[in-house]
């Protein structure tokens, strides 16, 4: 199943459960998801995560079940992971994070952006760009439902701001040139 980056991580997990169990018709309100546990399973070698789901009794579902599935890495689940992402100096930190997530095919709520020194990029620690852009790290959040703990480096490209000539030259009809007087 392709991760729907427009949905939350729990909504993607519910979709995964429903696709594999068509009669389930579960919703986020009907179940409670545990924290994913990274673990291998010799019966399902491709699975790398154990997740316990518990029925929400107030929604009419009871009991619990262990599920095995495969979480992805930052780059491993993305078909065309970009070398760089175009952002603008005027972007808020939320806009910047969303642009990076969308360009990389990742769910916004499951990643954090960091400087190469490990500091988190946020409104309290915003980016200041040079003309050459900036290299950053995309890191998955702790206990991500969709991604194993992973990181990848990416370049934020800041397009050069071009000033239209019409903003500089407001008068299109120029007075003629005059020749200097003869001696």
Its CATH architecture, for the domain 84-157, is: Roll (3.10)
Q: Collapse the DSSP code of 118 into the 3-class scheme (helix H, G, I; strand E, B; otherwise coil) and give the result.
A: coil
Helix/strand/coil for 129: coil
Partners of 49 in the beta sheet?
A: 38, 69
Give strand ranges (E) for the chain. 31-33, 37-38, 49-55, 64-69, 84-86, 111-115, 134-140, 151-157
pLDDT, tens digit, for every residue of 74-133? 876 666 678 888 888 778 888 889 999 988 888 999 999 999 999 998 888 888 776 678
Report percent pLDDT > 70 for the chain: 87
Q: Is 57's pLDDT higher than 60?
A: yes
How far is the C-alpha of 46 from the C-alpha of 43, rounded, in Å? 9
Per-residue pLDDT at 172 exceeds 70: no
The SS3 call for residue 39 is coil
Rounded distance between C-alpha atoms, residue 100 and residue 85, angstroms: 6
Q: Which pTM does this prediction carry? A: 0.75
Strands 151-157 and 84-86: parallel
The conformation of residue 4, written as its DSSP 8-state character, comes to -
N-to-C CA span, the chain? 87
pLDDT band at 171 (very low <50, low <70, confident <90, very high): low
Could you tell me where in the chain the CATH 3.10.20 domains are found?
84-157
Token look-up 């689940």 returns: 77
Phi first, then psi, for residue 75 (nearest 5°) are -95, -25
């Amino acid at each position: 199943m392709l991760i729907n980056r427009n949905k939350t991580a729990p909504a993607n997990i519910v979709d995964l459960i429903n696709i594999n169990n068509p009669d389930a018709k579960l919703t986020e309100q009907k179940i409670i998801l545990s924290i994913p546990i990274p673990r291998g399973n010799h019966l399902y070698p491709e699975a790398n995560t154990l997740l316990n789901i518990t029925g929400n009794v107030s929604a009419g579902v009871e009991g619990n079940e262990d599920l095995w599935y495969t979480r992805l890495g930052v780059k491993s689940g993305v078909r065309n992971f970009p070398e760089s992402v175009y952002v603008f100096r005027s972007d808020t930190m939320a806009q910047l994070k969303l642009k990076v997530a969308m360009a990389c095919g990742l769910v916004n709520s499951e990643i954090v952006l960091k400087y190469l020194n490990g500091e988190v990029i946020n409104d309290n620690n915003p980016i200041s760009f040079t003309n050459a852009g900036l290299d950053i790290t995309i890191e998955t959040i702790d206990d991500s439902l969709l991604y194993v703990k992973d990181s990848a480096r990416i370049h934020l490209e800041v397009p050069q701001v071009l000033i239209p000539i019409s903003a500089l030259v407001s008068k299109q009809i120029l007075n003629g040139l005059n020749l200097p007087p003869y001696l």
